[in-house]
């Protein structure tokens, strides 16, 4: 099985080092969140890549310590019969951010440039029109004042193979496997060609793609979040010092005795 790049491979990052660096970045993400809310900014973060490229883990790390009221994850299923009759981008537009919000797309309108093209779920004319219109569509998003960031996670053949094998063996990962995932594995070079055509048409100065090597999941998550933080200028928002108030004792009573006889979960652990 061939490797798809010749760059020097760094050693796998240790868990302790990863946790230390991730904590630093997640603190900064919280500061970025405060700034976005304070300034009423709107942002969209798009994650694309092959199956098993590490999108889910990267997104989880990104969202782990921020508020779901600010950062909204959108991972749409296959379009319904009704949605197939709508304008192609219509199902995505309804999830776009309002002031003080960040929308994270786990796969996006770029489905048309990837799986739909490779598996022939769209016509050649639909694909051609999408590739022509997409940069204009994204320019409109940016001109409307929305920050748009696009990440492509690039996993190698050997690492993708290992991850698929792990999913097959691990009952807690088998849900990640679908017939479409297996098809994508078989069509490696078709997806490579689709990726190349997508980048050629939509990697623009106004809306660039940022490619993240993801064979090492830990390094990929850190690199991705670090780069995101570098793309959105922010300042730390001053917060009032918080002090817990004293609990009132006026209506004090034994509030544990009143639970006697209720159905408690057995303490097995």
Residue 39 · residue 244 · CB < 8 Å: no
CA distance 158 to 161: 5
User: DSSP string spanning 146-168?
Assistant: -EEEEEEEE--HHHHHHHHHHHH
Q: Looking at residue 87, what is its pLDDT? A: 95
User: For residue 224, is it within any domain?
Assistant: yes
User: For residue 247, is it within any domain?
Assistant: no
Residue 44, SS3? strand
- Domain hosting residue 72, numbered range: 15-234
**10-residue block means of pLDDT along the chain (269 residues)?**
54 94 98 98 98 96 98 96 95 98 98 96 97 98 98 97 90 78 88 98 98 97 98 95 93 96 96
User: For residue 192, is it within any domain?
Assistant: yes
User: For residue 263, is it within any domain?
Assistant: no
Q: Looking at residue 6, what is its pLDDT? A: 46
Instruction: Pick left, alpha or beta for residue 109 (phi over 0 → left; psi -120 to 50 → alpha; otherwise beta).
Output: alpha
Q: What is each CA distance from 3 to 166, 194, 224, in whole angstroms?
A: 19, 18, 22
Q: Looking at residue 7, what is its pLDDT? A: 56
Q: Tokens 């019969």 sit at which residue?
A: 81
Q: Would you tell me how many other CB atoms lie within 10 Å of the CB of residue 243?
A: 6
User: For residue 71, is it within any domain?
Assistant: yes
User: For residue 266, is it within any domain?
Assistant: no
User: For residue 63, is it within any domain?
Assistant: yes
Q: Would you tell me how many other CB atoms lie within 10 Å of the CB of residue 232?
A: 15
Residue 212, SS3? strand
The CATH number of the domain where 66 resides is what?
3.40.50.300
Q: What is each CA distance from 62 to 28, 55, 140, 223, in whole angstroms?
A: 11, 10, 26, 11
CB contact set of 160 (below 8 Å; sequence gap of 6+): 50, 51, 52, 53, 185, 188
Q: Looking at residue 2, what is its pLDDT? A: 41
Please tell me the total count of domains within the chain. Answer: 1
User: For residue 177, is it within any domain?
Assistant: yes
Q: Looking at residue 248, what is its pLDDT? A: 93
Residue 100, Cβ density class (10 Å: 0-12 exposed, 13-18 middle, ≥19 buried): middle
């Amino acid at each position: 099985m061939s490797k798809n790049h010749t760059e020097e491979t760094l050693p796998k990052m240790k868990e302790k080092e990863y946790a230390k660096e991730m904590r630093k970045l997640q603190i900064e993400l919280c500061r970025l969140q405060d700034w976005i809310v304070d300034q009423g900014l709107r942002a969209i973060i798009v994650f694309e890549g092959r199956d098993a490229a590490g999108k889910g883990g990267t997104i989880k790390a990104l969202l782990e310590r921020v508020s779901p009221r600010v950062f909204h994850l959108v991972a749409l299923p296959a379009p319904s019969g009704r949605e197939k009759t709508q304008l192609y981008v219509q199902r995505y537009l309804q999830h776009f951010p309002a002031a003080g919000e960040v929308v994270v797309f786990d796969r996006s309108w770029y489905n048309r440039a990837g799986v739909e093209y490779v598996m022939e779920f769209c016509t050649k004319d639909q694909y051609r029109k999408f590739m022509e219109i997409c940069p204009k569509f994204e320019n409109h998003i940016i001109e409307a004042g929305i920050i748009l960031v696009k990440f492509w996670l690039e996993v190698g053949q050997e690492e993708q193979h290992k991850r698929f094998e792990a999913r097959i063996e691990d009952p807690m990962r088998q849900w990640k496997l679908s017939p479409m995932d297996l098809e994508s594995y078989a069509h490696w070079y078709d997806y490579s060609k689709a990726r190349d055509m997508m980048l050629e048409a939509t990697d623009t100065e106004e809306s660039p793609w940022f490619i993240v090597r993801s064979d090492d999941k830990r390094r990929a998550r850190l690199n991705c979040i670090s780069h995101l933080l570098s793309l959105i200028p922010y300042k730390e928002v001053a917060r009032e010092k918080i002090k817990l108030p004293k609990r009132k004792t006026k209506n004090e009573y034994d509030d544990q005795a009143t639970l006697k006889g209720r159905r408690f979960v057995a303490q097995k652990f």
